[in-house]
Structure formats: structure tokens, C-alpha cells
Amino acid sequence: MAPPGGAPRLVLLFSGKRKSGKDFVTETLQSRLGANVCVVLRLSGPLKEQYAQEHGLDFQRLLDASTYKEAYRRDMIRWGEEKRQTDPGFFCKKIVEGVLQPIWLVSDTRRISDIQWFQKAYGAVTQTVRVVASEQSRQQRGWMFIPGVDDAESECGLDNFGSFDWVIENHGDEQCLENQLENLLEFIHTRL
């Protein structure tokens, strides 16, 4: 059975701790490649949308970095885990439906089952990218350890993944980050 969505030329699966800069990195790459070539996909999008529907919540407010979202984060994590236990690819399938761009950036890969689903569905065009930032850098961006969130699988599921295809260090040195993004962009252009 063919996977939903089009046939991508490259799928980059981004992972990293909260406030490591995953969204910043993926949005920067998309802005440089163009929305007609590259799409940012968020596994948390369909999760939050479905959660909001089932719980009578404001979906748009769950998408931003607000205290509203934080108030529901633990329960969303629990609820999402229940959905994944039934179907590990539930949210993966939802985000790729109807996607036509050749380059896919999945900005919030959190579990080995997410990586396995994309590798099985799209094979060799799938690459893993880990965005890392020091605890100090993350704190400067507003991160604070929250029990039940920062020690849950949604944050720690890929800590011992093994070897990522790419590691982007985002400790606050803009030139260092820029050099790494340029290297990744060069690689992406070889797939176009």
C-alpha cells in the first residue's frame, strides 16, 4: 500500500529538546528554500487539533507557545500516547495527507516509532536531524524543567536513538548555526 501524500525527494525528521530551536531551524530552512519547494510538517498539529476537538478547547491557542497550551500539555501527552498505542503511525499519516512539495521538514519528531514509520513509508529519502542546545541556551529561551513533561517520552524518546544523520548545534552562536544550515542546504539542493 502506498503511503499517503506525494512522493517526496527528501524527508528530514527534526528532533530535539524543548527550546532547542527546532521550529527556528525548520522555518529558516523553509524560508530559504521557498514554500513551493519545502513544507514544514508538525506532528503536534493533528495531535493538538484532535485533542482540541475531543476536549472542547481552542485549537489555535494550543498551537502557540502560550500558558494556555502549557496548562494542557501533560494531558495532551497522555492522550497522544494512548492514540499511538492503538496506531503508532496515527499522527504521521495525518500530516502527510495531500502534501505535494518535494522537500518535507518534520519539525517535531519525538519517538523512535515516528522515525520508523517515515523510514518504512519513504525509505532512503528519509534523514534524521537532531537539534541540540545547551541547558543554559534553552533557559535563555524560556525553558524550565517541568516534571511529567521534560522527563516524558515526548521529550526523551530519542535521547538514546544512536546515530543521527545530521546534528545541528544551536547554542546561541549565530555564525556557527549559519554554517551548519548552509551545509544542510547544500545537501538539500542535491536532492532537488
Binding positions are: 17-23, 141, 170-171, 180
The type of residue at 7 is: A
CB 2, CB 96: distance < 8 Å: no
Annotated binding site for ATP: 17-23, 141, 171, 180
Distances 159 to 16, 31, 124, 131 between C-alpha atoms, Å: 9, 28, 23, 12
- Annotated binding site for substrate: which residue ranges? 170
Surface-to-core class of residue 3, CB atoms within 10 Å of its CB (0-12 exposed, 13-18 middle, 19+ buried): middle
- The residue whose grid cell reads 524518546 is 157
